[in-house]
Amino acid sequence: MADLLNDEPRVVSAGVDLFAAALAAQAVPVTTVDWRPPVAGTSDDLARVLADPRRPEANALALSRMLEAGADLVDVRPASEVLGLEPGQFLHAGPPVTWDRASGPLRGALIGATLFEGLATSPGEAEALLAAGSGSSVEWSPCHDRGGVGPMAGVVSPSMWLFELADPVGGRTAWCSLNEGLGAVLRYGAYGPEVIERLRWMASALGPLLQAAVRRRGPVDVKAIVAQMVQMGDEGHNRNRAGTLMLLRDLLPALVDSGAPSSDVAAAAAFIGGNDHFFLNLVMPAGKLQTAAAAGIAGCSVVTAMARNGTDFGIQVSGTGSAWFTAPANTPSGLYLGAFGPDDANPDIGDSAITETIGLGGFAMAAAPAIVRFVGGSVPDALATSRLMYEITVGENPAYAFPILEFRGAPTGIDVTLVARTGVLPQINTGIAGRVAGTGQVGAGLVQPPMDCFTAALSALAAAVPPPASE
């Protein structure tokens, strides 16, 4: 803390430029804030939340827990074992949603999962079953509510295999499905025969092989791989190429040594190595472990989840526990595959924005210059995007350092008050799903959450501030 009367002043000026200029004219070092009014309607809530005496320590605690959290891949098992999922129970990405409001890709993925589980024999039959809704023989709930995450539609059914991760520091676990690859895949809402066929192979061959390899080898330090991948051109959301190869490098000896037929091992290795996004499904649960460590701290204004179900965008905030603050999801803008175009795009979907929640993905664009044009920008844009994200986060994660920013740590811990004060929204890199159920992936690009999620969370935080102690 500065000695006011003796230290040479270094001034931060917010407000009238004239006074900053007057200080500069006195040879005083002045940093001028690019100040603008907070998002309309938030000033009362902001004042109440900033006045909360618990907040500074709560946010500092959240940050330190996020930075401490580790992430080891400890096992690969079916969802029925990991979560006790019963037939007819499904999990999905984003906040809760009913069938009538569910988007095309989520419906498509649920139809596919119903077929995969053998609960229906045709898409039409599956759709009818699902349309009857929760309370009938089927039900679905968010992955996040069960301590896990799923990319895009994020649909998990009992027979699907999951990566299980553990945080050796906090003792928590998290999980995520196995990545199916790109194109016509369940998570993008496709449910054709080749989709179901691939799921069956993953459940019967890939999952058991990975399980054997992980159990033989021992835990894989996912956090360490993430730390390396962001120094190798991956941002951990739309580019996971280096991470995937490092995972394969770590697992391959144990896979080969597992005693499985060499043709099966070769098929698994080819599948993993041929899918640049395979490691996304490990970055995501590592992110879930990191944010779970910061969840549920009273007075804390740090975001612990950003997730979308294709209809709504939802966030969770540490100080408000498991409550979802939702608003209609935006539609990403970006580049499209083949003949697809913007009209084919579904609104934002998936739990993969957990990567941005921990300072990767769009927040780490500076680390991934190779894909900046794919998501519609230039390298200077990428640097500017990452720098801007430091304006809405409470700290930096030295474990995930960006070389081009002088190894500055990833911007970590989105603070809803900073979002409302600056009007700066988190930048998310994302895949784009087809609007119509069954289509699959149509492109990839950039998207932002709706501001209403953050203002709603801010209101809830404000309402939870204890009244000032009377003196």
Partner 1 sequence: MPVPTVPTGVRAARPWPGDVSRQVLPGAASTVVAALVGGPRLTGEVVAATRTLTAVLVDHGTGPVLLCVTGPAAVRLPCAVVTPWPLSGLRAGQRAVVGDGELRIGDSAADGVVVTAARWWRVRPAAIGDVALARTRTAGLADGAGLDGGVVAAAGRLGLGLLCGDDEELADAVDGLLGLGPGLTPAGDDVLAGALVVAAALGRAARLASVVGAAVPFDRTTAVSAGLLPHAAHGLAVPQLAAYLAALGAARGDVEAAEQRLLAVGHTSGAALRLGAVVALAALAGGPR
Partner 2 sequence: MIRHVEVRTGTYHDSVTLMQVSQAVQGEDGVGSALVAMATQLNLDLLAGMGFDPPAASPNDLVVGVVADDDGALGRALGRLESALAARGPGGSGDGGGFDAAPPRSVGAAARRDGATIAFVSTPGAYAFVDAMDALQHGLHVVVFSDNVPVEQEIRLKQEAADRGLLVMGPDCGTAVVGGVGFGFANVVRPGPVGVVAASGTGAQQLLGLVDGAGVGISHCLGVGGRDLTAEVGGASTLAALDLLADDDATEVIVVVSKPPAADVADTVRERAEKLGKPVVLALLGPGRPDLTAVAETVVTTAGATWAPPRSWPSTAPRTGPYPFVRGLYAGGTLCDEAMLLVSAAFGPVRSNIPLASAWALGPDLQAEGHTMIDFGDDSLTQGRPHPMIDNSLRIERLLTEARDPTCGVVLLDVVLGHGAHPDPAGELAPAIVRARNVAGARGRDLAVVVALIGTDTDPQRLDDQARALRDAGASVQLSNAAAAREAVALVRDGADG
| Chain residues in the site for partner 2 (CB under 8 A) | 1-2, 4-26, 28-38, 40, 43, 46-47, 50-51, 53, 55-56, 383-384, 387-388, 390-391, 405-406, 408, 417-418, 421-424, 468
* Least Cβ distance, residue 55 to partner 2 (angstroms): 8
- CA–CA separation, 202 and 208 (whole Å): 9
Query: Token pair for residue 365?
Result: 């664009």
- What tokens does 205 get? 């061959």
Task: Give the strands of the sheet with 441-447, arranged side by side.
Answer: 333-336, 441-447, 428-433
C-alpha separations of 274 from 181, 268, 467 in Å: 8, 10, 57
First to last CA, the chain: 27
Other CB atoms within 10 Å distance of the CB of residue 370: 14
If contact means CB under 5 to 8 A according to the sort of partner, which of partner 2, partner 1, none does residue 384 touch? partner 2
21 lies in the site for partner 1, by CB under 8 A? yes
Instruction: Work out which of 2, 4, 18, 469 binds partner 1, going by CB under 8 A.
Output: 18
Span of 27-35, 263-271, 346-354, 445-453 interacting with partner 1 by CB under 8 A: 27-35
Of 48 and 215, CB closest to partner 2: 48
Q: 28 or 323, CB closer to partner 1?
A: 28
CB of 382 to partner 1, least distance (A): 30
Q: Which does 32 bind (CB under 5 to 8 A by kind): partner 2, partner 1, none?
A: partner 2
Is residue 204 near partner 1 by the rule CB under 8 A?
no
State which residue, 22 or 463, has the beta carbon closest to partner 2. 22
Q: Which of 14, 15, 16, 26 binds partner 1 (CB under 8 A)?
A: 26
Q: Are 433 and 349 in contact (CB under 8 A)?
A: yes
* Cβ 32 to partner 2 shortest distance, Å: 5
Q: Residue 465 carries which DSSP code? A: S
Instruction: Report in angstroms how near the CB of residue 380 gets to partner 2 at its nearest.
Output: 10
Q: Alpha helices, DSSP H only, in 364-428?
A: 379-389, 416-422
How far apart are CB 36 and partner 2 at their closest, in Å? 4
- List of residues 6+ apart from 327 with CB closer than 8 A: 312, 313, 449, 450, 451, 452, 453, 456
Range 383-388, long-range pairs (CB < 8 A, 24+ positions): 385/427, 386/411, 388/424, 388/427
How far is the C-alpha of 110 from the C-alpha of 101, rounded, in Å? 13
25 binds partner 1 (CB under 8 A): yes
Q: How far is CA 110 from CA 141, 198, 297, in A?
A: 12, 16, 34
388 touches which of partner 2, partner 1, none (CB within 5 to 8 A by kind)? Answer: partner 2
DSSP state of 338: T
Check: CB of residue 121 under 8 Å from CB of residue 176. no
Residue 24 found at the interface with partner 1 (CB under 8 A): yes
Quote the distance between the C-alpha of residue 441 and its chain's center: 18
Q: Which of 1, 2, 4, 8 binds partner 1 (CB under 8 A)?
A: 8
Q: Does the protein bind partner 1 through residue 29 (CB under 8 A)?
A: yes
User: Which CB atom, from 6 or from 262, has the smaller least distance to partner 1?
Assistant: 6
CA-to-CA dists, residue 395 to 51, 210, 228, 273, 338, angstroms = 20, 36, 20, 34, 40
- Of 18-26, 44-52, 125-133, 417-425, the segment contacting partner 1 by CB under 8 A is 18-26
Sign (positive/negative) of CA torsion 447, 451, 453, 457?
positive
From the list 17-25, 134-142, 346-354, 420-428, the region that binds partner 1 by CB under 8 A is: 17-25
The residue among 8 and 86 lying less far from partner 1, judged by its C-beta, is: 8
28 binds partner 1 per the rule CB under 8 A? yes
Does 17 participate in binding partner 1 (rule CB under 8 A)? yes
CA dihedral 202, 187, 94, 76 (to 10 degrees): 10
335 belongs to the binding site for partner 1 (CB under 8 A): no
CB of 383 to partner 1, least distance (A): 25
Give me Rg for the CA atoms of the chain. 23
Instruction: Give the residue with the Cβ less far from partner 1, 18 or 339.
Output: 18
For partner 1, the binding residues (CB under 8 A) are 6, 8, 17-18, 21-22, 24-29
